[in-house]
Structure 1
Amino acid sequence: MKRLTGCTLAILLLLASWTSAALAEQGFILLASTIGPIDAGIVSVLEDAFEKDTNIRVRHVGAGTGAALKIAQKGSIDLVMVHAKSLEEKFVADGYGTERIPFMYNDYVIVGPADDPAAIRGTKTATEALKKIAAKGAPFISRGDKSGTHVAETELWAKAEMKPTGPWYRVFEKGSEGNKATLAYTNTEKGYTFIDRATYLSLKKEISLRILVEGDEALLNRISLIPVSQQKFPKINAQDSATFVKWLSAPDKGQKIVNEFGKDVYGAQLFFPDSKEWKARAAK
């Protein structure tokens, strides 16, 4: 029998209590979200605004994308918010989710020490930067937890036609705690890492690392919504989940919040609207 980690056990216990409440009443949605948007604060803001508009409560658990999808495969979640296309497509293809719905995006950056020992600052492509880090043998910290961020990182190494190995490439043993924990650890190790911009901005004043590579198309980080299949799990709250998805996708509701989030606190936009409805309005 596979041993549960403390974090996994805590999530399952929390889900058990919430699932009981959800089954007892309508107007209650369970969301499994990738950790980055939770850490940034946007998930709670969206949940609160939605409840105010509709009287439908949303409660979330945070996990890396791989873990979030595994939780949803148990039928104890109504909706997932994730960011790893290959894992999402498999989740839908296997019948656990109904469809991938574009929601929002931000971007990844490569950060490192201000003195930049691998000399990657201003490198035009992220793959070129990774090659320089590897050639120098500079410390690189990976989440290593099959989260969306880790999947995106490994895909980038593959594009660079490299398989990182050696003492310079370090897997953070607490990577499953999320990007904030990984970034803070990288800072103490004076290393490089691959991280989303929102996490960096949220910790910018507390760390000495700098953004060294950005703007490459390969660094875009698209976040999707996937309703869990009611055909697979008849007891999930598909009706209220559909209402939430529609609200999140609406240009004057969820997408407006996404578009404005972070500007007042960080002086920069953390996420960008990506729904079909938002794009349709922008195209007019």
Structure 2
Amino acid sequence: MIHRRRVLTAVAGGVTAALAGCLGDDDAPAEIHDETLTVTTTTSTYDTGLLDEVNAAFEDRYGVTVRAVAQGTGAALETGRRGDSDVVMVHARSLEDEFLREGYGINRRDLMFNDFVVVGPDDDPTGVDRMESVTDAFRAIAESESVFVSRGDDSGTHVKELAIWDAADADPEGEWYREAGSGMGEVLNQANRTPGYTLADRGTYVSQRSELDEVSIRVEGPIEGGSALLANPYGVVAVNPGVHETVNYDLAMSYIGFLTSREGREIIEEYAIDGEQLFFPEAVSEEPNFRQYVPENWTTEE
């Protein structure tokens, strides 16, 4: 556990950078040049193409280079723990909270959301099509031992999948359950080739839909009125310079400020494939969620 004083010192030292990023005029001239920011992020933001849009705008505005490393959420956070990235953009709040509690991350912000969907064969051998309860769908898949392709990589999607199996009181074991250990795009391709079921974030599914001829959405998430359990929020966290003094904290906070600014919101909101919006920004709000900065259930006694 990293000592809290080191965390507070890092927060205090970064106030200027945080304010410059979050409160500055969107049309102000760039004040950072010829630096490199390393971002570890999920495969979903990379595979959908959103990251290219966001990073190109940030590079153009600040005259810097963004090095994006696409990994599962667990691996992205582990890279941050080692001090090999400056900022982490992920989608598994339980893992983000662990990262914050250990002192490796500071100044977390809610960024955006989409949802998860259950993708499966078009002939739907298990009969889960349009089920309102994703736990009922998972239970039916397990009972019928229909092929299910799992990320199996400690990603945000994998964490959500395991939580659903647990809520369904079902054990994902046997030859029917296949752990790919791969990113979302490859898992969708494997499910399509089998064909079998899988859990996917809507953004990656939509971005690859034209290449999937054997599978489609069987169970919807909350964006289309489905189970709230399939909600998929994303957060962005700066790596703590009090732990790793080599991280580019000022640039990291400028990046977070840019993502959560009006300009960042517009880029996220307007990004679409075949006319379908993939992500929904939530950083700019009339009623900010001040609990977003700290782990859930955080108290001053911790």
The alignment's TM-score, normalised by the length of structure 2, stands at 0.80
Partner SS state of residue 236, structure 1: coil
2:34 and 2:104 map into 1 onto residues whose CA distance is: 21
**Does the 8 A contact of 2:85 with 2:247 survive in 1?**
yes
Aligned to 1:153: 161
Partner SS state of residue 259, structure 1: helix
Aligned to 1:210: 216
1:80 CA displacement: 0.4
**Does the 8 A contact of 2:34 with 2:65 survive in 1?**
no
2:59 and 2:194 map into 1 onto residues whose CA distance is: 42
1:216 CA displacement: 1.2
After superposition, give the CA deviation of every residue in 1:216-258 in whole Å (9 maximum; x if it has no partner): 111111111010001001121111111111110012x111111
1:122 CA displacement: 1.1
Give 5+ residue unaligned stretches, structure 2: 1-32, 221-225, 289-302
**Does the 8 A contact of 1:138 with 1:168 survive in 2?**
yes
1:125 CA displacement: 1.1
1:233 and 1:280 map into 2 onto residues whose CA distance is: 34
Aligned to 2:133: 125
1:180 and 1:202 map into 2 onto residues whose CA distance is: 9
Partner SS state of residue 285, structure 2: helix
Amino acid at match of 1:258: I
Aligned to 1:260: 270
Aligned to 1:42: 50
1:140 and 1:182 map into 2 onto residues whose CA distance is: 10
Amino acid at match of 2:229: A
After superposition, give the CA deviation of every residue in 1:20-54 in whole Å (9 maximum; x if it has no partner): xxxxx863211101111101011111011011122
Aligned to 1:233: 244
Give 5+ residue unaligned stretches, structure 1: 1-24
2:74 and 2:90 map into 1 onto residues whose CA distance is: 9
**Does the 8 A contact of 2:34 with 2:63 survive in 1?**
no
1:94 CA displacement: 0.5
1:109 and 1:205 map into 2 onto residues whose CA distance is: 17
**Does the 8 A contact of 1:56 with 1:240 survive in 2?**
no
Amino acid at match of 2:185: K
- Give 1:223's match in structure 2, choosing from 234, 237, 242: 234
Amino acid at match of 2:227: D
After superposition, give the CA deviation of every residue in 1:73-95 in whole Å (9 maximum; x if it has no partner): 11121000011111111111111
1:32 and 1:144 map into 2 onto residues whose CA distance is: 19
**Relative CO higher for 1 or 2, CA cutoff 8 Å, sep ≥ 6?**
2
1:281 CA displacement: 8.2
How many equivalent pairs are there? 250
Partner SS state of residue 233, structure 1: coil
Q: Which has the higher helix share?
A: 1
Aligned to 1:19: none
Q: Check if 1:250 corresponds to 2:261.
A: yes
1:266 CA displacement: 2.0
**Does the 8 A contact of 2:91 with 2:232 survive in 1?**
yes
Aligned to 2:206: 201
1:239 and 1:195 map into 2 onto residues whose CA distance is: 34
**Does the 8 A contact of 1:89 with 1:100 survive in 2?**
no
Structure 1 vs Structure 2 CA RMSD? 1.5
Partner SS state of residue 163, structure 1: coil
The alignment's TM-score, normalised by the length of structure 1, stands at 0.85
After superposition, give the CA deviation of every residue in 1:146-166 in whole Å (9 maximum; x if it has no partner): 111101100111111222112
1:124-203 mapped onto 2 (5 Å cutoff): 124-172=132-180, 175-176=181-182, 178-203=183-208
**Does the 8 A contact of 1:26 with 1:237 survive in 2?**
no
Aligned to 2:280: 272
1:99 CA displacement: 3.6
1:91 and 1:233 map into 2 onto residues whose CA distance is: 14
